[in-house]
């Protein structure tokens, strides 16, 4: 069984913390539509514990996953937390039902959300608190300013942003030190390439969400499938390995509700793609 190590996954500094570059996304340990409790509570607890056992040092969650369910399960499974585990949560979305994610970037909402996350995660300070998504109804400066206040009060150690453009990242950086960005990025969706490049330039982490490439690229006979077969690996592992190889800023956070899938996904840390394979994948979706 592959463990994630400093050597095979590499490490990155997130603020004053150093973590291995393959993390775990805890959105999928909830019910259907990211709503309510998971179908199998014990399996969700086992996934979280196994992730840490296998060397994961970064777990990403949000108050809106469940809502509240993902954070509660993390505390149940892992509190008191290992010293080298960084829990990254988010605020700025509310939930009105399965698959519904209205935004709320008002400072008063973000304060309430952060305080709720502190309680559920049983923490005095959240290591990495990310603003989930800009809310068009609220000036972005006001949302980020609320996080800065929470940081000044010691409730947040480091601030991250998510679902931002380069311009929004720069706006946030004028208000607070930003240590990470979390945007959608995978083999078939590279629309945040400019944001990734900016993160590389700044030396901050880029957490690509939805890291698996779905669709045509992964079909039997497609490039992912062929390269996976050559390495006795799975297309998902190839997609993750490509992300890790693509940039030293990249910190994939693949999500799953199953221990079996988790173990498979973390196996990507050991996979080394050749330069020709990386080049083929680079060109495949263009
Ligand atoms: N900032 C944002 O706006 C935002 C948005 C979405 C997600 N995120 C974060 O990013 C993380 C990753 O994104 P994501 O969960 O949407 O997408 P993902 O990691 O690309 O995909 C998860 C899906 O793939 C399946 N899966 C995972 N491993 C598998 C395997 N080895 N074999 C077969 N199926 C597998 C999961 O089902 P099973 O449970 O059956 O394995 C689940 O349906 C989330 O957990 C969350 O922390 C952030």
> What tens digit of pLDDT does each residue of 115-125 get?
999 999 999 99
Distance of CA 122 to the CA centre of its chain: 20
65 is catalytic: yes
Is any atom of ligand 1 closer than 6 Å to the C-beta of 180? no
3 state SS of 205: strand
Is any atom of ligand 1 closer than 6 Å to the C-beta of 162? yes
Is any atom of ligand 1 closer than 6 Å to the C-beta of 20? no
- Which two three-digit tokens encode residue 213? 């490439």
Determine the pLDDT at residue 180. Answer: 98
Is any atom of ligand 1 closer than 6 Å to the C-beta of 212? yes
Asked if residue 179 lies in contact with residue 205, where contact means CB atoms within 8 angstroms, the answer is yes
Q: What is the CA(273)–ligand 1 centre distance, in A?
A: 22
Determine the pLDDT at residue 239. Answer: 96
pLDDT digits (tens, 9 = 90+) for 179-227: 999 999 999 999 999 999 999 999 999 999 999 977 777 788 888 999 9
Asked if residue 54 lies in contact with residue 263, where contact means CB atoms within 8 angstroms, the answer is yes
Q: Strand 58-60 vs strand 205-209: parallel, antiparallel, or unpaired?
A: unpaired
Determine the pLDDT at residue 286. Answer: 58
Q: Which element (helix H / strand E) includes 8? A: helix 6-9
Which residues are bridge partners to 20 per DSSP? 11
Is any atom of ligand 1 closer than 6 Å to the C-beta of 72? no
For the chain, 286 residues long, the average pLDDT of each consecutive 10-residue run is: 94 98 98 98 98 98 98 98 98 97 98 98 98 98 98 98 98 98 96 98 98 79 92 96 97 97 97 96 82
What are the Cα distances from residue 210, in Å, to 121, 136, 207, 249, 268? 24, 23, 10, 16, 15
Determine the pLDDT at residue 127. Answer: 98
* For the CA of 62, the nearest atom of ligand 1: 47
Cα atoms in the 13 Å half-sphere on the side-chain side of 11: 13
What are the Cα distances from residue 34, in Å, to 50, 69, 194, 246, 268? 21, 9, 29, 29, 25
Instruction: Using a cut of 0.85, tell me whether the model's pTM lies above it.
Output: yes
* For the CA of 93, the nearest atom of ligand 1: 3
Would you give the DSSP letter of residue 92? S
* For the CA of 214, the nearest atom of ligand 1: 20
Asked if residue 117 lies in contact with residue 155, where contact means CB atoms within 8 angstroms, the answer is no
Instruction: Identify whether 67 is preceded by a cis peptide bond (ω within 30 of 0).
Output: yes
Q: What is the CA(152)–ligand 1 centre distance, in A?
A: 33
Q: Among 28, 33, 225, which residue has the most ligand 1 atoms within 8 Å of its CB, making it the best to mutate?
A: 28
Q: Give the contacts of 96 (CB within 8 A, at least 6 positions apart).
A: 102
């Amino acid at each position: 069984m592959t463990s994630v190590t400093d050597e095979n996954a590499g490490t990155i500094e997130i603020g004053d913390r150093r973590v291995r570059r393959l993390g775990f996304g805890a959105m999928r340990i909830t019910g259907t539509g990211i709503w309510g409790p998971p179908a199998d509570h014990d399996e969700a607890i086992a996934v979280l514990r196994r992730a840490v056992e296998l060397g994961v040092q970064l777990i990403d969650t949000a108050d809106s996953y469940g809502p509240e369910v993902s954070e509660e399960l993390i505390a149940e499974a892992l509190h008191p937390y290992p010293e080298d585990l960084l829990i990254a949560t988010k605020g700025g979305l509310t939930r009105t039902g399965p698959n519904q994610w209205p935004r709320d970037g008002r400072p008063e909402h973000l304060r309430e959300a952060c305080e709720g996350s502190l309680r559920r995660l049983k923490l005095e300070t959240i290591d990495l608190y990310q603003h989930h998504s800009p809310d068009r109804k609220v000036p972005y400066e006001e949302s980020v300013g609320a996080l800065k206040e929470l940081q000044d009060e010691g409730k947040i150690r480091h601030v991250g942003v998510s679902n931002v453009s380069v311009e929004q990242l720069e706006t946030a950086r004028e208000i607070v030190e930003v240590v990470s960005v979390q945007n959608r990025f995978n083999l078939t969706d590279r629309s945040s390439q400019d944001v990734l490049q900016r993160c590389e330039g700044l030396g901050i982490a880029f957490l690509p969400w939805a890291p698996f490439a779905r669709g045509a690229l992964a079909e039997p006979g497609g490039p992912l499938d062929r390269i996976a077969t050559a390495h006795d690996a799975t297309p998902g592992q190839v997609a993750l390995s490509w992300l890790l190889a693509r940039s030293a800023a990249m910190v994939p956070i693949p999500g799953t509700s199953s221990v079996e899938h988790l173990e498979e996904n973390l196996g990507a840390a050991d996979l080394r793609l050749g330069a020709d394979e990386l080049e083929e994948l680079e060109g495949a979706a263009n």
